[in-house]
């Protein structure tokens, strides 16, 4: 066109100015991709901390004690329709309903498996197939909740029997959590052998391993069992076939056996080996 200066396609392709610009864009795009990758990893670690003590202590991330979200769950008909399912749950940061005490913003992830039960005869936490298809959420033969805790030294996870003990801690809807009720759950955890054969890491600043009651009061209840004593819980259920239970159970049992019978201790990592990793890999064992 008259009065306009244009460049041919060949000139454009070999323009040194364009080459410099493309190089800058390439370097800049790589940097942006790295920044996004680190951002995603950091957010995942922040939300899936598996502990009550987070990586950071940012008050604005923490729910207030009164900010408890009421759960809506499927009715008893769901239990009749689906005899086997996995329930994947994301939980908020630790904030005790009893004392108001809590840690940082890190959350938790747990999986409940209907049809897989705690093996009472094992010397350390292991699973077995449930002996019956139980419909009562209080029945220990209904299933088990699998929880990873950074305080564990010689295993990766523990199994809590029965849906009601895992989530509401046997509290009735609307029932207030009292010290007496907390102590009942504490005694149940000991009597049921949930932490049988488990060694703990010392709490930050301590030298010795905590005893079972100290661990339960500070890091067990509200994380491994009775989650709603200290967290809001958001779950999704996925029906599975009976045959899918076996590879899930095998993966989890092998995971604990690796540390309980091997030379290496479990080394929790926010980036590479936390509660979310165990849950995801257990499902992947069954091609989920």
Q: Strand locations in 162-239, DSSP E? A: 233-239
pLDDT tens by residue, 98-156: 766 666 667 899 999 999 999 999 999 999 999 999 988 889 999 999 999 999 999 99
Query: In this model, does residue 39 exceed pLDDT 50?
Result: no
Confidence of residue 40 (pLDDT cuts 50, 70, 90): very low
pTM over 0.85: no
Cα 285 from Cα 279, distance rounded (Å): 10
Cα 98 from Cα 101, distance rounded (Å): 8
Using CA of residue 250, residue 254, residue 256, residue 261, what is the dihedral sign?
A: positive
For all residues of the chain together, what is the average pLDDT? 80
| Phi, psi dihedrals of residue 77, rounded to the nearest 5° | -65, -30
The set of residues, in sequence order, having a beta carbon less than 8 Å from that of 110 and lying 6+ positions away, is 89, 91, 145, 146, 147, 166, 227, 275, 279
The fraction of the chain above a pLDDT of 70, given in percent, is 71
Q: Hey, where are the domains in the chain?
A: 9-45, 48-284
pLDDT tens by residue, 188-239: 999 999 999 999 999 989 999 999 999 999 999 999 999 999 998 999 999 9
């Amino acid at each position: 066109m008259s009065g306009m200066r244009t460049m041919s396609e060949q000139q454009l392709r070999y323009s040194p100015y364009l080459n410099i610009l493309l190089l800058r864009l390439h370097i800049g795009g790589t940097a942006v991709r790295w920044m996004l990758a680190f951002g995603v990893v950091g957010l995942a670690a922040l939300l899936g901390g598996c502990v009550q003590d987070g990586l950071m202590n940012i008050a604005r991330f923490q729910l207030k004690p009164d900010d408890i979200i009421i759960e809506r769950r499927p009715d008893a008909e769901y239990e009749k329709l689906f005899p086997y399912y996995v329930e994947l749950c994301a939980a908020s940061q630790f904030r005790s309903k009893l004392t108001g005490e809590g840690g940082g913003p890190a959350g938790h992830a747990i999986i409940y498996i209907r049809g897989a039960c705690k093996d009472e005869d094992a010397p350390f936490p292991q699973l077995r197939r449930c002996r019956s298809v139980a419909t009562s959420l209080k029945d220990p033969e209904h299933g088990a909740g699998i929880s990873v805790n950074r305080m564990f030294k010689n295993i990766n996870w523990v199994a809590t029997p029965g849906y009601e003990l895992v989530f509401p801690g046997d509290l009735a809807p609307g029932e207030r959590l009292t010290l007496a009720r907390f102590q009942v759950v504490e005694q149940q955890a000991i009597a049921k052998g949930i932490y049988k054969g488990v060694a703990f890491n010392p709490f930050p600043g301590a030298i010795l391993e905590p005893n079972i009651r100290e661990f339960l009061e500070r890091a067990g209840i509200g994380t491994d069992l009775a989650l709603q004593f200290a967290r809001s819980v958001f779950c999704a259920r996925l029906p599975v076939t009976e045959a899918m239970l076996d590879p899930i159970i095998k993966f989890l049992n092998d995971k604990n056996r690796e540390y309980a019978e091997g030379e290496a201790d479990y080394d929790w990592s926010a980036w590479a080996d936390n509660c979310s990793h165990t849950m995801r890999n257990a499902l992947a064992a069954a091609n989920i």
